[in-house]
Amino acid sequence: MISAPVLPPCITRETFEQAVAEFREIAGAENVIVELDRLAPYTKIMIPDEDAWHQPACVVAPVSVVEIQAILRICNRDHIPLWTISTGRNFGYGTAAAATPGQTILDLRRMNRILEVDAEMGTALVEPGVSYTALHDYLEARNIPFWLSFPSSGALTGPVGNTLDRGIGYNRYGEHMAHFCGMEVVLADGSVVRTGMGGVEGSNSWQCYRWGYGPWTDGLFTQSNFGIVTKLGLWLMAKPPAHKTFGVGWDDAEDMAAGIDAARRLRLQGTIETFCMGNALSGIGSVIRRAGIWSGQGAIPDDVIADFCRARGVSLWGATATLYGTTGQIAVNLALCREAFLATRGHFVTEDDFPVDRPSPLTPEINRTTGQLDLSAFGIYNFRGGGGSAWFGPVLPMRGSDALKSIALAKPIFAAFGFDFIGSLTMGYSGRHIDHIMDLLFDRTDAAETDRAHACFTSLVETFAAAGYAPYRTNIGFMTKVAEIYGPAQQGLNRRLKRALDPNGILAPGKSGIF
């Protein structure tokens, strides 16, 4: 049981308390937290780790770049580590907690201004505390004809944090790293850099052209601890004249793999722009409790899942996609998709095949791909109960054979530790890769089960690395382990960049395994 805030390494209580007093002068006493009960939201992790490993020293919530610069001066002087969050709702990855204990959480939720939306160019400039809900409502209130791309947790999270962690959404702008443009970054020494065209005084193209002149540095500030991003430019998706969502189901894994190959070809030809596939539990798990399927011990047997799905007309594998364009374009592309997926023995349906007076199974996908915030996928956290979740997301070439290999690697590991395999395969923007995103659900109130979940996640990381697959992001408890997969050369380069940009090592030590 933790009875007092955990101090940063090598910092005396006297030094820390003096720093806290100065933080209060900068940000206001009400915006600096040291009380254990008020720190609780910053320690509520879902991942299979000990709370004490991520206990913060305090929280400070600035409202401006000037306040951040003043906080950095104190942290550099006293060597106080500073972990930055935006909305702090990185569910299944660490939420608002830091990678190591004793860090001060720099909470940027008060920096929540929508600075600019260009309704002609379809761009926005926002601060880290802006939520997807706030930006969505801003566009709707002003009848600005653009849509956002957001993750399953979109109604609760924000575009800056999600983009910087290389999160994904579901419409044609779903790969968020491919659709931001321009950053403002406060470096560890307090200097402010505007990347790309933002470096030009009076620039009128900051959110229009991302590359600027010279080396492109924006990527350095994603999944890193090299700076604090205080503004981010976004590209918004123009509302198309029409859209149509369809679904495909398969009951055979080989047919499902053929469906992935068909989707790749359709993407490379420009016929489709979205494609997300999942196993049966990833769909029905959002609306049905596990006990309604299986009350036995260990992972739900495949034959039990198959019988449950067969009785309800649910496919063992299901995919969805949304077409955009004019009604004529959609009709042509829909016919091409129908032909391609029927050739894989898939069951093909569209949104028109369901009654209009009640939600269809395609409703969540329609919402996600047409700019409507939807939290229905969050029902998966009710499937098992207990509040434990850790996302594992290796990147695969978009080939059916790789999907089958990935599933064959993952399912036995989940089963060996007594957990259900719940996975989806989401197509990347180019159509050349898929993210195989699996949710390790467990009862975090059960210490033994949490230990098993930790061992399971460790086995997943190690087994997939040995097969040549690695996650594109991970939770705060496994950042160093995943960084090791990418090899000593990348780790060495990251360390050299860290020493150059943050010589005192105060910014988020441990982020992405960088110290």
Q: Contact, 54 vs 97, CB < 8 A?
A: yes
Q: Contact, 440 vs 419, CB < 8 A?
A: yes
**pTM over 0.85, yes/no:** yes
Query: In whole numbers, what is the pLDDT of the chain averaged over residues?
Result: 96
Looking at residue 471, what DSSP letter applies?
A: B
CATH of domain 242-466: 3.40.462.10
* pLDDT for the residue 378: 87
Which of 253-262, 367-376, 402-411 is the least confident region?
367-376
State the average pLDDT over residues 176-191. Answer: 98
Q: What is the pLDDT of residues 124-167, one digit of tens each?
A: 999 999 999 999 999 999 999 999 999 998 889 999 999 999 99
CATH 3.40.462.10 region(s) of the chain?
Answer: 242-466
Count of residues making up the chain: 515
Residue 4 has pLDDT above 80, yes or no: no
CATH 3.30.43.10 region(s) of the chain?
Answer: 13-109
Residue 405 has pLDDT above 90, yes or no: yes
* pLDDT for the residue 210: 95
Confidence of residue 199 (pLDDT cuts 50, 70, 90): very high
* pLDDT for the residue 252: 97
H or E stretch at 130: none
Comparing CA positions, the residue from 286, 263, 288, 266 lying closest to residue 276 is: 263
If 0-12 CB within 10 Å is exposed, 13-18 middle and 19+ buried, where does residue 315 land? Answer: buried
SS3 201: coil
CATH 3.30.465.10 region(s) of the chain?
Answer: 114-238
CATH of domain 114-238: 3.30.465.10
* pLDDT for the residue 283: 94
Can you name the CATH fold of 13-109? 3.30.43
d(CA 370, CA 372): 6
Q: What is the pLDDT of residues 309-332, one digit of tens each?
A: 999 999 999 999 999 999 999 999
Q: Contact, 80 vs 104, CB < 8 A?
A: yes
Question: CA torsion angle for 294, 247, 240, 330 (degrees, to 10)?
Answer: 180
d(CA 218, CA 196): 8
Task: Please name every residue paired with 348 in a beta bridge, in sequence order, or none if there are none.
Answer: 248
SS3 202: coil
